[in-house]
Amino acid sequence: MDLQLKDKVALVTGASRGIGRGIAMALADEGCDLMLTGRDEAALKEAAADIGKKGRKAAIAVLDLRAEGTEKPLVAALRQAFGKLDILVNNAGATQRGDFFKLTDADWQDGFALKFFAHVRLTREAWPLLKAQRGSVVSIAGIGGKEPEAPFTIGSSVNAACVAFMKAIAEIGKADGVQVNAINPGRVETERLWRRFRATMESTGQDEAAVREEYRKEFDISRFGKVEDLGSFIAFLASPRGRWMHGAALNIDGGEVRSV
């Protein structure tokens, strides 16, 4: 299926590894040029090189989106490198887990700064470019916003806020011709999940297959997700073929969320 994304320009935050990198690679496979952001310069350069091998252009910006004002030079660099923006994927942000009574105000401020406020500021700064191209915004939230739990008070709150922001900005998108949606990923096989697998293997002596199955049953999912699952779905969503989807918060979680 031709998604008609050839020569589109996408900006993906948190693109040095994990979900962000997988999304960037999927968009490159569909013909997009990429602006990649993150805090790990070496990893970003490696990702850009891999995109170059696919015959697409890639530029990088090493920055920390928690800092107010970083969105302005980022969008300026994007304008200089590509002159336009068709797809914005707000992905950056991992929040601190832990005992609610031990989490500090600084932990909460950091969680909202990196994920929620970074999404807000970058969307606001990039909006004129997206409006000019009748582009698409995809915000990566998480299933914790749908099913909050005590060890994830910060992440659950931040994810719910990201979805609420997406829903509100989608109203502006209808008038301005900008598609806006959110994705709630479940348990995706990234290094963070693999650290949990390895810790359990070391503490129990179980092999990988046994540990994976134990966690699959605990989470009550069909299987663990892969970054390619998210990347290919977002490519479809942001393409003309997925354009009618607007203002939606979509769970991609192997059936973990039980609520309607």
pLDDT of 79 higher than 80: yes
Shared-domain flag, residues 87 and 198: no
Shared-domain flag, residues 63 and 126: yes
Is 204 a member of any domain? yes
Shared-domain flag, residues 44 and 68: yes
Specify the pLDDT at position 83: 98
Shared-domain flag, residues 121 and 234: yes
| DSSP labels, 208-250 | HHHHHHHHHHHHT-SS-B-HHHHHHHHHHHTSGGGTT--S-EE
What is the count of structural domains for the chain?
Answer: 2
Residue (of 152, 149, 230, 154) closest to 186 by Cα position = 230
pLDDT band, residue 71 (cuts 50/70/90): very high
Q: Which residues contact 175 (CB under 8 A, 6 or more apart)?
A: none
Query: Is residue 7 within 8 Å of residue 31, measured between CB atoms?
Result: yes
pLDDT digits (tens, 9 = 90+) for 109-147: 999 998 999 999 999 999 999 999 999 999 999 998 988
Q: Which domain holds residue 25?
A: 9-188+226-251
pTM of the model: 0.94
pLDDT of 92 higher than 80: no
Query: Is residue 249 within 8 Å of residue 181, measured between CB atoms?
Result: yes
pLDDT band, residue 192 (cuts 50/70/90): confident
How far is the C-alpha of 31 from the C-alpha of 139, rounded, in Å? Answer: 21
How far is the C-alpha of 235 from the C-alpha of 56, rounded, in Å? Answer: 15
Tell me the H-state helices in 54-152: 71-82, 105-111, 118-133
pLDDT of 64 higher than 80: yes
Shared-domain flag, residues 123 and 209: no
For residues 178-204, average pLDDT: 91
Kind plus residue range of the DSSP H or E element containing 184: strand 179-185
Is 59 a member of any domain? yes
CATH of the domain at 244: 3.40.50.720
For residues 75-95, average pLDDT: 94
For residues 244-256, average pLDDT: 96
Shared-domain flag, residues 208 and 88: no
DSSP-based three-state secondary structure for 180:
strand
Residue (of 185, 179, 184, 162) closest to 245 by Cα position = 179
Shared-domain flag, residues 183 and 193: no
- Average model confidence (pLDDT) for the chain? 95
Strand ranges across the sheet with 136-140: 58-62, 33-38, 9-12, 87-90, 136-140, 179-185, 249-252
Shared-domain flag, residues 137 and 203: no
pLDDT band, residue 233 (cuts 50/70/90): very high
Cα dihedral value 81, 85, 89, 94, nearest 10: 40
pLDDT of 172 higher than 80: yes
Shared-domain flag, residues 148 and 166: yes
Residue (of 144, 151, 157) closest to 187 by Cα position = 144
Specify the pLDDT at position 248: 97
Shared-domain flag, residues 112 and 90: yes
Shared-domain flag, residues 133 and 56: yes
Is 258 a member of any domain? no
